[in-house]
Structure 1
Amino acid sequence: MEITIESVETPALTKAHLADLLFEQIGLNKRESKDMVEAFFDLIVSRLVAGEDVKISGFGNFQIRTKAARPGRNPRTGEAIPIGPRRVATFHASAKLKEQISGSIPTEPTEVEWNLGSEA
């Protein structure tokens, strides 16, 4: 099954847009589509909060990393500020995703037609 994205109105793909794509291309109703997207992300979040890694084959790995406390600095005032220990989520793309991304760069320049609204 291949899901295509014809046009994205915003520069980012949103959860609402993902739900719309499930509705349009898979045939789920709108409520099921929204619930599926929410459940997917809720599952990822709950696993990360529990300290577990999330591995999605062909896409990448989400991991929790614990950062140690360190000294920081307020860039405006120069005042030293302690930064406490914290957990952060990281994402590492899979080799397959990296290959797909790097393969999508055109090797030769393509001709672009500009329509500046000068049609009569």
Structure 2
Amino acid sequence: MRKADLVNAVADIADLSLREADDAVSSVFEHITNALARGEPLNLIGFGSFNVKQRAARQGRNPKTGDLIEIAASKQVSFKAGKNLREHII
């Protein structure tokens, strides 16, 4: 499913115009992105939880040359599916 498919589904379910549905979906994505950028966890009961995890710096290997390289510390978004979502998938 692409964003356009999601917008169409929201427009049909909520009886909105495509423009209003696109604004609503874009707004939800923007708020999720902003919350995670601030380091805040986002919990959507029944759907799942988004968190930002810190990855430590580490050493890796260049697969082409075999040389050791330093991989910088970074942040990573993680998602844990909620009970309702897991039940629908399994």
TM bin, normalised by shorter chain, reads over 0.9
Which of 1 and 2 has greater Rg? 1
- Choose the corresponding residue for 2:42, options 48, 54, 68: 54
Higher normalized contact order (CA 8 Å, seq sep 6+, divided by chain length): 2
Give the length in aligned residue pairs: 90
Q: TM-score with structure 2 length normalisation?
A: 0.94
2:27 aligned with 1:39, yes or no? yes
Q: TM-score with structure 1 length normalisation?
A: 0.72
CA distance, structure 2, for counterparts of residue 68 and residue 53 of structure 1 = 19
Percent of residue pairs identical: 37
Aligned residue for 2:12? Answer: 24
1:17-41: per-residue Cα shift (whole Å, max 9, x none)?
A: 1111122232101110100000000
Three-state SS of the structure 1 residue aligned to 2:77 is strand
| Structure in which a larger fraction of residues adopt helix | 2
RMSD: 0.9
| Structure in which a larger fraction of residues adopt strand | 2
Unaligned runs of 5+ in 1: 1-12, 103-120
